[in-house]
Amino acid sequence: MSGNITGRILVFVLLCIAVIWAFFPILFMISSSFKPGNLIWSYPPKLIAEPTFANYQNIATLFPRFWKSFFNSVIVTALTTALTLTMAIASAFVFSRLRQPWLKVPAFLMIFVRMFPGIVVVIPLYPVFNELGWLDTVTPLVLCGAAFAVSMATLLIKTFVDDIPVDLEEAAMIDGCSRVGAFIRITLPLLTPAIAAVSLVVAIGSWNEYLFPLVFTSNDARTAPVIIAIAMSNEDGVAWGGIMAMATAYLAPPLLLVLMLHKQITNVMTMGAVKG
Amino acid sequence: MKRKFQVLAVAMLTALSSTALAQEKKLTIVGVNIHESSMRGVGLKNGVDAVAEFEKQTGNKVAVNVETGPGILEALPRLGTLNKSAEDIIMVSQLMANPRIAAFLEPLDKYMAANAIPGFPQDWVKAPVDSGTIKSQHYLVPLRCGVWIFWGNKKYLSDQGVAETPTTPEQLYEAAKKATFTKPNGEKVYGFAVRGISDQVPSGLATIGAMFGGSIINEKGEVVVNSPAMVKAAEYMRKLFAEGIMPPNWTSVDADQMFTQGRLSMVVSNDNFTSRFESTEALGPGGTVPFHVPLQESLRKNGINYAGSQSFYWGAGILKGSQNKEQAYALLKYLAGPQPEAMMMSNGNQPCRSAPLAKLGETVAANKVGIDTLAISRPPLPGNPRLSEASDAIAVAVQNIVVNGADAKKTLDTLSTDLKGIYE
Amino acid sequence: MATNASTAAPIPRPNKRSRYSENLLAATAVTPPILLLVLFIGIPAVALLATAFTDYSPGIEPEFIGWKNFTTLFNSSVFYSILLRNIGYVIGVVSLQLLVALGIALILDNELPYRRIWMALLIAPFAISPVVGVVIWKNLLDPSYGLVNYVVSSLGLPTVPWMSTPLTSMIAVVIVAVWRGFPFIAIILFAALRGIPVEVKEAAKIDGATSFQIFWHVKLPFIMPALSIMALFETIFAVREFDTIQTMTGGGPGTSTSLLSHYLYRTAFGTFRFGMGAAVGWVMLALTMLMAALIIWRAYRDMFPKNKA
């Protein structure tokens, strides 16, 4: 890699500024989770103060619902992401490769319907879910989550499919592949960076969803953000140590996901050659 | 491939929702975390389960669903309008108790006629029982009560030369000014704050107003928010804010938390916060000095030299859509009994029956102040179907006066017109 | 030049039989998401928005009142200031987010040692529970005890009264909104940048193009479709920004940091005026459409390029 030294230093300095701004508040949260509760907001602000694991040990007794809700979050996120991505890949393929005139209608719906804010759907849906017996289960969380995520996922994946020349698929079809078969075998592998990036976005969006679990669940299917929010609204005083510990634990899976998917997202370099 | 995924997803979903459906029948109470901790002892060091005995006697399981503070406000109309709800009992606070609850809750009188709650309502504190009574029907059994009083940080006040707790607004101003200081490490300590976050502002205004003999709506139900006393109260708050005696981010900061962190010398807060404020992580045992709401000298009569403030409470009601109303009432009656009441008290709950409250007052200083104050206090706003609208308008007006420097008289005149539209 | 989205030629028109199977294929693929969108968003949203023409409030029989909610709304000066603030907020936040994200995506696109770690650190704000993120920022920005002012005053500079006046409250909200929003765009733009074929970049370099020229003539056109979709969704998200306002400022002091969604929440849930809240919902919808009209049109057109068969 060539490039002048000043340019590279400039890039590095900008990177450091960005990282401080993006990560410092989180670092503060993580370090707070190891402080005794009364030292978290101490003055002058300190990054490290009497480190202890007590906050983590206390989660189970102070917030007995947390680990269950953490597990619920994992299930909801996994199902929502799987459902959304399956639908999005299939639709992106159709929107990109087929030219049926009537496809304009679903395309319009995809963009338009997504404009409604989540807050306007929860009130009418609540009694319906009550009748269906879906309240306090993960079902409405997954279905609503996927409904709100699928438009963006489809549009994004479509822009990536568009960039992959169709000739390869056609060649495979001449070799006797079905159209779907050709797409799955030839194009899908080339889409890994897009799919990885979009999965990451959908998964994290679902991981942080607050409104739907707040309204549609009450106990068994509650997810972690709601439990953390409840712990923060305690009239009798907020247990900051425990909250910082919960929030830190809650941050771990998405960070791991980023580390894991990084390779998929950056893998295109070698694939670029195929395009020639 | 894609189909397989879809089939798999649907199968998983069905499996998950059917397991939820197969659960056993139980009674469900909807509340916030203080209700779970007082009823079940959850999250407390030596918490006791006050509901276990009921479960054993009746064989009914009890679940407490916990909502956030704003969440429960929104849960009442949502659950109250269902024909069939999985939830049975809901906790209703003074912020939610308005005549509209009659549409969401079951009237309790017919259950009481058949199976009375001993001592209800005559042994209970009057104000909360009254606001849960609509068209002479009882809808709520109050289970957690309190009142706003003044709290001082004992050390700060004596260090800054405030020997006596203030008893007049002028003394409060002087004391607060003295007790605004900066610690050697650069940490700022503010002299005084009354809660400034939107939903708390009406109570705050009413408390400061009471020091000058004013109120938002008087006992006759007339809107008097633009009376000279209230204008004086609003200007008083602005003066404290402008002079840096109240914290600059007053409208978004949790005053109680600042007080526990030792960043406020005086605060207006709940009378049941002794254990919170005097915990070893906060100000420590004996670290606070609770005192009465100051009152202007000229307004004193009948030997009472303090003002009333805002009473607050949580009452339990039965949801219209409950499928187990009889058992739900049995649980209500149980919770209102002396045994669970005592257990809930040991979990930090402050009951609504006069006798145990008086007993608390004998040992805890803040409760003594609380009982005096409660006797002459009212909820900040009387019940009205548009209560929350009124509360919101007051919050906006007061924040505009105090922080944004709007003209007090003019703003309160406009507010008064708005409130008259709601109340008269 | 770049391989642009619209140059991906569609497969030549097939014969009748395969056209039937194509219709079937398209229908199978598109039906599930459309069904979800219509059932879980479209119908309930329309049902609720219809209440804008009533005085619906839970526990009270609703009555049809025509345009009254809208006339009340458009006669209130508070509403106008909120509407204007919302427009300014959307423009400010979306452009800041896109700029920051684009910058970060470009930085990450360089050969960096430990890029995986840098990326995880940069993307973390997106992965944090919004409520917790806001609480930390609120404390960092506290005018008297926050780290930001502490550092500023240690350097001998004048401190900022964060969260104490309408202006500083709004700036704090924007800082946090950009902080929470940019990683999402950065991930997508980064993935799009990685999709640019190496030869294209190499060819430009051999032609003697400067870094800026490569960015402007090669990279930017290539990531434009992704950028415009991100702009569309960020506009949608920004118009409805709620969490940050609610947890940072509660719309205060007064209503000086309130935005439409917060106003909607306050009217519908805070004060039980669902009819009025629905009217605000209509305004939000109209505003989204207006602000995103250009991008919507672009996104829609991109789905059906002109050179279709």
Q: What is the 3-state secondary structure (H, E, C) of B249-281?
A: CCCCCCHHHHHHCCCEEEEEEECCCHHHHCCCC
Asked if C271 is an interface residue toward chain B (Cβ–Cβ < 8 A), one would say yes
Cβ–Cβ gap A110/C34 under 8 Å:
yes
Mapped onto helix, strand or coil, the DSSP state of residue A172 is: helix
Q: Which residues of C touch A111 (CB under 8 A)?
A: 232, 296, 299-300
> Alpha-carbon distance C237 to C201, whole Å?
33
Chains with 3 or more CB pairs under 8 A to chain B: A, C
| Residue C156 near chain B (CB below 8 Å) | no
Provide the token pair at A202.
Answer: 């959908």
**More confident of the two residues B384 and B411:** B411
Contact A136 B86 (CB under 8 A): yes
The total of other beta-carbon atoms located within 10 Å of residue A218's CB is 22
Q: With CB atoms and an 8 Å threshold, state whether C164 touches B403.
A: yes
d(CA C241, CA C262): 8
Place of tokens 């006798």: B355
* Domain annotation covers residue C70: no
User: B45 in contact with A at a CB cutoff of 8 Å?
Assistant: no
C59 within a domain of the structure (yes/no): no
Contact A230 B16 (CB under 8 A): no
- Please, which residues bridge with residue C31 across strands? none
Cβ count near B136 (within 10 Å) = 7
- Among A84-93, B379-388, C119-128, C178-187, which range has the highest average pLDDT? A84-93
- In this complex, the residue of C32, C161, C255 whose CB is nearest that of residue B248 is C161
Å between B24 CA and nearest CA of chain A: 13
Closest CA to A94 of C229, C298, C27: C27
Task: Classify B301 as helix, strand or coil.
Answer: strand
Q: What local confidence, expressed as pLDDT, does residue C16 receive?
A: 64
Q: What is the pLDDT of residues B388-413, one digit of tens each?
A: 788 889 999 999 999 999 999 999 99
C203–chain A Cβ distance below 8 A for any pair:
no
Considering only residues 23 to 62 of chain C, which have any Cβ-Cβ distance to chain A shorter than 8 Å? 23, 25-26, 28-30, 32-34, 36-45, 47-49
Q: Residues C66-81: pLDDT tens digits?
A: 899 999 999 888 889 8
Considering B401-415, C107-121, C209-223, the range whose residues carry the highest mean pLDDT is B401-415
- B33 and A235 within 8 Å at the Cβ level: the answer is yes
What DSSP assignment string belongs to B367-419?
HHHHHHHHHT-B-SS---TTHHHHHHHHHHHHHHHHTT---HHHHHHHHHHHH
Beta-carbon contacts of residue B227 (< 8 Å; ≥ 6 apart): B214
* Whether pLDDT at C155 is above 80: yes
**How far does the CA of residue B256 sit from the closest CA of chain A (Å)?**
8
Which strand (E) or helix (H) includes residue A19? helix A5-32
Find, among C82, C143, C135, the residue nearest to C248 by Cα: C135
pLDDT at res. C14: 54
- The predicted-structure confidence for B287-334, as pLDDT tens digits, reads as follows 999 999 999 999 998 888 999 998 888 999 999 999 999 999 999 999
With CB atoms and an 8 Å threshold, state whether B198 touches C253. no
pLDDT of residue C13: 52
Q: Report residue B183: phi and psi, to 5°.
A: -70, 160
At A204 the three-state DSSP class reads: helix
Residues in chain C closer than 8 A to B263 (CB atoms) = 144-145
Q: Take residue C219 and report the two structure tokens written for it.
A: 């990279």
Question: Which residue in C6, C35, C132, C142 has the most chain A C-beta atoms within 10 A of its own C-beta, making it the best mutation to test that interface?
Answer: C132
Backbone angles phi, psi at B187, to 5 degrees: -75, 130
Cα separation, A127 vs B85, in Å, equals: 9
Cβ atoms B311, B379 nearer than 8 A = yes
Whether pLDDT at B42 is above 50: yes
Output Rg (C-alpha) for chain B, integer angstroms. Answer: 23
Decide if pLDDT at B5 tops 60. Answer: no
Fold of B149-309+382-423: D-Maltodextrin-Binding Protein; domain 2 (3.40.190)
Q: Which residue of B has its CA nearest to A128?
A: B82
**DSSP E strand stretches across A1-78:** none
Please check whether residue B407 touches C, CB under 8 A: no
Task: Assess whether the previous peptide bond of A189 is cis (omega < 30° from 0).
Answer: no
Of residues C106 and B74, more confidence is placed in C106
- Residues pairing with B314 in the sheet: B93, B144
The residue ranges of every structural domain in chain A are 60-275
CB C93 within 8 A of CB C238: yes
**What is the percent of chain B with per-residue pLDDT over 90, rounded to a whole number?**
67
Q: Which residues pair with B193 in a beta bridge?
A: B267
Phi, psi dihedrals of residue C133, rounded to the nearest 5° = -55, -45
In C, minimum Cα distance to B105 occurs at C59
Q: When comparing pLDDT for B12 and C291, which is higher?
A: C291
* Residue C54 lies inside a defined structural domain of this protein: no
Question: Out of B134-148, B234-248, B392-406, C182-196, which region has the weakest mean confidence (pLDDT)?
Answer: C182-196
Q: Is the pLDDT of residue B53 over 60?
A: yes
The span from the CA of A257 to the CA of A197, in Å, is 11
Written as six digits, the tokens of C117 are 């770690």
User: Within 10 A of B352 (CB to CB), how many other CB atoms are there?
Assistant: 28
Average pLDDT over residues B95-102: 83
Domain ranges (residues) in chain B? 25-139+311-375, 149-309+382-423
Helices and strands per DSSP (H, E), number in chain B = 19, 11
Q: Which CATH class is domain B25-139+311-375?
A: alpha beta
How far is it, in rounded angstroms, from Cα B226 to Cα B240?
Answer: 20
Q: What is the model's pLDDT at position B12?
A: 58
Is C188 close to A198, i.e. CB distance below 8 A? yes
**Are C131 and A43 an interchain contact pair (Cβ–Cβ within 8 Å)?**
no
Least confident segment among B303-317, C110-124, C294-308: C294-308
Segments of chain A with pLDDT less than 70: 1-3, 267-276
Q: Do A155 and C229 touch (CB under 8 A)?
A: yes
* CA separation for the pair C212, C220 (Å, rounded): 10
Position A272 scores a pLDDT of 42
- Separation in Å, CA of C163 to nearest CA in chain B: 5
For testing contact with chain B, the best of A41, A125, A135, A234 (most B CBs within 10 A): A234
What is the C-alpha to C-alpha distance for residues B381 and B64, in angstroms, rounded to an integer? 29
How far is residue B77 from each of residues B11, B281, B395, measured CA to CA in Å?
34, 38, 22
Single out the residue of A209, B95, A232 nearest to residue C243, CA to CA. A209
> Cβ separation of B100 and C32 shorter than 8 Å?
no
Mean pLDDT of B51-56: 93
Distance from CA of A225 to the nearest CA of B (A): 11
Does any CB of chain A come closer than 8 Å to the CB of residue B16?
A: yes
Inter-chain touch C187–A201, beta carbons under 8 Å:
yes
Q: Which CATH architecture has domain A60-275?
A: Orthogonal Bundle (1.10)
3-state secondary structure chain C: CCCCHHHCCCCCCCCHHHHHHHHHHHHHHHHHHHHHHHHHHHHHHHHHHHHHHECCECCECCCECCCHHHHHHHCCHHHHHHHHHHHHHHHHHHHHHHHHHHHHHHHHCCCCCCHHHHHHHHHHHHHCCHHHHHHHHHHHCCCCCCHHHHHHHHCCCCCCCCCCCHHHHHHHHHHHHHHHHHHHHHHHHHHHHHCCCHHHHHHHHHCCCCHHHHHHHHHHHHHHHHHHHHHHHHHHHHHCCCHHHHHHCCCCCCCCCCCHHHHHHHHHHHCCCHHHHHHHHHHHHHHHHHHHHHHHHHHHHHHCCCCCC
Number of structural domains chain C divides into = 1
Gap from C251 CA to chain A (nearest CA, Å)? 17
Q: CB of B248 within 8 Å of any CB in chain A?
A: no
* Local confidence band at C204 (pLDDT 50, 70, 90 cut-offs): confident
Cβ neighbourhood burial of B126 (10 Å; 0-12, 13-18, 19+): middle
CB contact under 8 A, A124 and C179: no
pLDDT band at C2 (very low <50, low <70, confident <90, very high): very low
Is the Cβ of C152 closer than 8 Å to some Cβ of chain A?
A: no
Question: Residue B353 to residues B342, B371, C87: CA-CA distances in angstroms?
Answer: 11, 11, 53
CATH topology identical between B25-139+311-375 and B149-309+382-423: yes
ipTM above 0.95, yes or no: no
Q: Which residues have a Cβ under 8 Å from the Cβ of B160 and sit 6 or more positions away? A: B178, B179, B181, B265
The pLDDT assigned to B423 comes to 87
Q: Is-contact B227 B302, C-beta < 8 A?
A: no
For residue A62, what are the CA distances in angstroms to A126, A239, A246?
30, 9, 11
Residue A60 burial class via C-beta count within 10 angstroms: exposed 0-12, middle 13-18, buried 19 and up: exposed
Give the mean pLDDT of C262-273: 80
Q: Quote the CA–CA distance of B322 and B318 in Å, as a whole number.
A: 7
Contact B100 C272 (CB under 8 A): yes
What mean pLDDT, rounded, does chain B reach?
90
Containing B148, the helix (H) or strand (E) segment is strand B141-153
Is C10 at the interface with chain A, CB within 8 A? yes
Minimal CA separation from C162 to chain A, in Å: 16
Of B288, B290, B263, B268, which Cα lies nearest the Cα of B155?
B288
CB contact under 8 A, B395 and C252: yes
Between CA B41 and CA B46, with CA B43 as vertex, the angle to 5 degrees is: 55
Q: How confident is the model at residue C5 (pLDDT cuts 50, 70, 90)?
A: very low
Tokens representing residue A136 in the block: 């306090």
Domain interval for residue C148: 79-272+281-303
Instruction: For chain B, say whether C161 makes contact (Cβ under 8 Å).
Output: yes
Chain B residues in contact with C166 by the CB 8 A cut-off are 404
CA B248/CA B267 separation, integer angstroms: 15
pLDDT reading at C17 higher than 80: no
Q: Quick one: how far is CA C178 from the chain centroid? A: 10
**Res. C3: pLDDT tops 60:** no
What are the distances in angstroms from CA A242 to CA A37, A71, A249, C83, C150? 8, 18, 11, 39, 26
Shortest distance, CA C291 to any CA of chain B (angstroms): 29
Residue B194: its pLDDT value, please?
Answer: 95
B6 touches chain A (CB under 8 A): yes
Contact yes or no for C162 and B389 at CB 8 A: no
Q: What is the pLDDT of residue B225?
A: 96
Q: 10 Å Cβ neighbour count for A131?
A: 11
Determine the residue among C1, C18, C135 to mutate to test chain A binding: the one whose Cβ has the most chain A Cβ atoms within 10 Å.
C135
Residue B257 contacts C, CB cutoff 8 Å: no
Instruction: Judge whether A60 is closer than 8 Å to chain C, CB to CB.
Output: no
Containing H/E element for A270?
Answer: helix A268-275
Q: Does C45 reside within a domain?
A: no
Residue C40 to residue A207, Cβ atoms within 8 A: no
| pLDDT (tens digit per residue) in B338-371 | 999 999 999 989 999 989 999 989 989 999 999 9
Describe the crossing of helices C166-194 and C77-108 by its angle, rounded to 10 degrees. Answer: 40
